[in-house]
Chain A
């Protein structure tokens, strides 16, 4: 008897802070996104132009690969973001499943095309680099295969999301797929350590000094930040659009 009382009290005490509820309101999100987007978009564009010129024209050529290494300035940021955006998509999918928060579902859905584009770019640039460096466009090693599975997860998520008459059902089904696919993210990252792969190990994302000269590292970090800011801006712009579209439909909700 007393036990149920305390658990009821504990349940009562746990309440999300007010800003969580505010964030869930479409009007507040519209206002907030409108304020945030310029701060992501313009620094992102400036950093992208700086990073591109720095990386492609001013960074020194590699001792072994020559100028071919410069594809790293697109390959590494898109590959890193393909995984980061997937995590954002899965976390917002979980929030939408647990708390039935429509805004989280909208953001989750809008992560998918941006993440798919990053995954495609990572695969395409890697392939372009692979031909002159490795001697092949494609090889079925663990890193390349798991990244290709990531692309299929994104495409499958989008297809499943839009495959139902009732958008609510589609959103729930796709969210579950996004959660199942989370396991692929550590596999992509650690594939080069767990198995013998043709793809090299991590240069940047490891618990050690990056194995890249600082003169080549700085433009890479600039590009990474630029891609992150632009992706976030893009997801927010798309989500804002969806929120507005839903508010225009009076029979919805």
Chain B
């Protein structure tokens, strides 16, 4: 390699390295702000601001959904592995909403750790399978539970 090419190779590597460091430091400084939502355990640990619009994401706790028979009012709990918080929402829920589904609720956090949601989005996991396979999986897991 000639010295001119070597110098240019060094320049190219410096550009990539410098921009990498700059972006890494920026994203590290902004790490909580890049997260789309807080986990319920973060909310209960007091990391989420109160009386401001935030997003909270977790799995819908089975058996926690209570629907109003007259209106679209619905309330349910979402949880991560550590903690659960209650969400109230009035409106049409996404099709994927069900017990055990991951969801992201946008709303205001009240002082009692209760979220009054303005929007509820369903989160989809990365599993793809035909219905028969899903049924078979369900049956085997039930059979295991029976033992």
Interface SS of A by simple majority: loop
Contact of A179 among B15, B125, B134 (CB under 8 A): B15
Contact A134 B124, CB 8 Å, known A64-B96, A183-B23: yes
Which residues of B lie under 8 Å from residue A80 when comparing CB positions?
A: none
Q: Write out, one digit per residue, whether chain A residues 64-104 have a CB within 8 A of any chain B CB (1) or not (0).
A: 11000100100000000000000000000010011100000
Which residues of A lie under 8 Å from residue B5 when comparing CB positions?
A: 98-99
Asked whether, in the complex, the Cβ of B23 is within 8 Å of the Cβ of A11, the reply is: no
Asked whether, in the complex, the Cβ of B95 is within 8 Å of the Cβ of A132, the reply is: yes
The reply on A14 being an interface residue by CB < 8 A is yes
Contact A134 B94, CB 8 Å, known A64-B124, A94-B12, A183-B16: yes
Asked whether, in the complex, the Cβ of A63 is within 8 Å of the Cβ of B121, the reply is: no
Task: Name 29 A/B residue pairs within 8 A (Cβ), A-sorted.
Answer: A11-B2, A62-B130, A63-B129, A63-B133, A63-B134, A64-B124, A94-B12, A97-B11, A98-B9, A132-B95, A133-B95, A133-B122, A133-B124, A134-B124, A136-B119, A140-B36, A141-B36, A179-B12, A179-B19, A183-B19, A187-B27, A195-B34, A196-B37, A196-B38, A198-B121, A211-B127, A212-B127, A213-B130, A216-B130
Residues of A within 8 A of B (CB): 11, 14, 60-65, 69, 72, 94, 97-99, 132-136, 139-142, 176, 179-180, 182-184, 187, 194-198, 200-203, 211-213, 215-216
Q: Given contact pairs A179-B12, A182-B16, A183-B24, enumerate 11 new A-B contacts (beta carbons under 8 Å).
A: A62-B129, A62-B131, A63-B131, A69-B128, A94-B12, A134-B123, A135-B122, A176-B15, A194-B34, A196-B57, A198-B121
